[in-house]
Structure 1
Amino acid sequence: MEHNSSSDVSIVIPTHSEKRWASLTRTITSAQTQTHPAAEIVVVVDHNPEMANRVKLTFSGVTVLENAYARGASGNRNTGAFHTRTPFIAFLDDDTVASPEWLAYQLTPFADQSVVGTGGGIIPAWAGPRPAWMPDELLWAVGVSYTGMPTTTAPIRNVWSANMIVRRDAFLAVGGFRTGFGKLGDQNRPEDTELCLRMSAAAGGRWMYVPHATIDHEVPADRSTFGFLIRRCYAEGRGKVQMAGLMPKDQELGAEKDYLRRTLPRAVGRNLTRAMTGRGAAHALQAMAVVAAVLAAAWGGGVETLAGIFESAPATTDNV
């Protein structure tokens, strides 16, 4: 597949730890071997000068920058994005491998001027066996595409920054990712969803999901545990409440409500039916995993809501 020009898109790859050196190498190689060549590949290192120097010495033809903002993925991505000069900016995480036609496929919807951004399919690359208790509807918890997403190119409310392309002027108009809000340490706030909502609102544009513009996303063994799922859902519940506090009052989390009301109940019903008709105990475990995930997210959302109430409550003093 061909596109208009080989100079219309730059790829930004944030990274932070040499523990990911092997995966970063695979990410950069996949970016360099696209059928639609990028004008520039920018690797941004998050407050790790030694690693930044190693990237510079190892990879020719790659721009290496250091995060110009506070530590975190949002500032890391902004540093790279603000450096670029192309009409489109693509983002990959440092634990992904893009398919050869990823850029070509995902740039196509931008022929429509109302499209402010696109995202593509994310395929799990499990370090070990996929957990039998993990239903397709919960694959978002490990950062990959899940049941309930479109199966053909279609409008979507938001995409993920591991596989995202933005129209540069729309991205700059809202100031990029919200720094201080994204992933840092054990915090897992949806900075990519929040960006998508701001860009759509500001430009009056839309996002498109291109499922065949795929990347592989590594899923390490420590993210394949039930404990990780519960922690991730709890963090997501807290993060969505935080995000809702940043949104206009008339903008609701409609996608989340539809997922909770339709997609997850169907998953529970389907798996319970299969379990009761003798098609394997794994289906019962998948139904239980969905219920546990919902409870964990609700728990996180409740904790964050209470925290917000206490923070906003006026201080009182005793009368003297």
Structure 2
Amino acid sequence: MTSVAVVIACHSEERWDLLLGAIASARAQQPAEVIVVVDHNPALRDRLRTAAAGVTVLANRYTRGVSGTRNTGAEHAATDLVAFLDDDIVAAPGWLQRLIVVFGDPAVVGAGSAIRPNWLRARPRWFPDEFLWAVGGSYPGLPTSTAPVRNVWSAGMVVRRDAFRAAGGFRTEFGKVGDRMKPEDTELCLRMAAAGGRWMFVPEAVIQHAVPAGRDDLRHFVRRCWQEGRGKVAMSALKSGEGLTSERDYARRVLPRAVAREMAAAARGRGADHLRRAGAILFGAGLAGLGAATELVASRRH
């Protein structure tokens, strides 16, 4: 029987209630072990060791950042598979079992979940579905049934432990820490696929990602789109795989159709929100392009 450990990365006591919810949802999947790794926060580590009975609590062995935090948990795991959750994620019933199924194919090295945003306040009416990735959610254009993909997101990701370790895990110098937002999960997927593996997207496996106040406004949207452009160019510079073909295809195929749809709805008198969403798509795409250009210029200076 395939064994699985669930690794939950955390760093701040500000998310305490969300973290307890993530732990409870992970334990409900009945994995072999739930491992919570704390990113350089001794007070949070000690509090968890008291409050989270039956859970392994570790400190990040690497420099600060989510990449080293996840690597620490994966290195501790002694299971066939390792699943990753974040401290603001709740896994739906059956999440883990639905993901495990695809590992019956020995060519599969990893799998990912559908991510539904859990808006803790009302979702802004101007916010387009095509930019749900800006709040950590799945978006139109992804497969609607289980299918191979270039990459999945680390929140809700499951990997073969041996393949993950052979690839060296997440790059500890590349990822999310502080205000830096670089796609360490995409970069990992490209490296593992380049070694001969296959990634699967399993939309029936669902997790919910909390979207609190401060991540549901225009300021976050602007920052996240700009950072996405910078991060993807930085990832491409690492030459980890096929580069940015998926991003270019999304920009050329999905976004123009979305703008046309929203503009047509506005023209038919269905409300100004459609016009606002069309504007948000164009604005967000422009910001990502500006971020990409900024990173290109910065990289050439070095």
Which of 172, 191, 202 is residue 179 of structure 1 equivalent to?
172
Counterparts of residues 115-264 of structure 1 (less than 5 Å):
115-202=108-195, 204-247=196-239, 251-264=242-255
Amino acid at match of 2:75: F
1:314 is aligned to none
Tell me, what secondary structure is at the counterpart of 2:180? coil
Instruction: Please tell me whether residue 14 in structure 1 is matched to residue 9 in structure 2.
Output: yes
Which of 267, 270, 293 is residue 276 of structure 1 equivalent to?
267
Tell me, what secondary structure is at the counterpart of 2:102? helix
Contact 2:263–2:274, Cα closer than 8 Å, also in 1: yes
| In 2: Cα distance, 1:68 partner to 1:123 partner | 31
| In 2: Cα distance, 1:240 partner to 1:255 partner | 11
Q: TM-score when scaled to structure 2?
A: 0.98
- C-alpha displacement of 1:211: 0.6
Which of 21, 34, 49 is residue 26 of structure 1 equivalent to?
21
Amino acid at match of 1:70: T
1:315 is aligned to none
1:73 is aligned to 66
Amino acid at match of 1:12: V
- C-alpha displacement of 1:253: 1.4
Identity %: 55
Amino acid at match of 1:300: G
| In 2: Cα distance, 1:252 partner to 1:141 partner | 20
1:299 is aligned to 290
Extract unaligned runs of 5+ from structure 2.
Answer: none
- C-alpha displacement of 1:261: 0.4
1:97 is aligned to 90
| In 2: Cα distance, 1:265 partner to 1:226 partner | 21
- C-alpha displacement of 1:205: 1.4
Tell me, what secondary structure is at the counterpart of 1:221? coil
Counterparts of residues 40-79 of structure 1 (less than 5 Å):
40-79=33-72
Greater C-alpha Rg? 1
- Aligned pairs, number: 302
List structure 1 runs of 4+ shifted beyond 2 angstroms.
none
- C-alpha displacement of 1:252: 2.9
- C-alpha displacement of 1:78: 0.3
Contact 2:190–2:242, Cα closer than 8 Å, also in 1: no
| In 1: Cα distance, 2:125 partner to 2:39 partner | 35
Tell me, what secondary structure is at the counterpart of 2:117? strand
Cα displacement string for residues 131-166 of structure 1 (whole angstroms, at most 9, x for unaligned residues): 111111110110011111111111111111111000
| In 2: Cα distance, 1:279 partner to 1:224 partner | 24
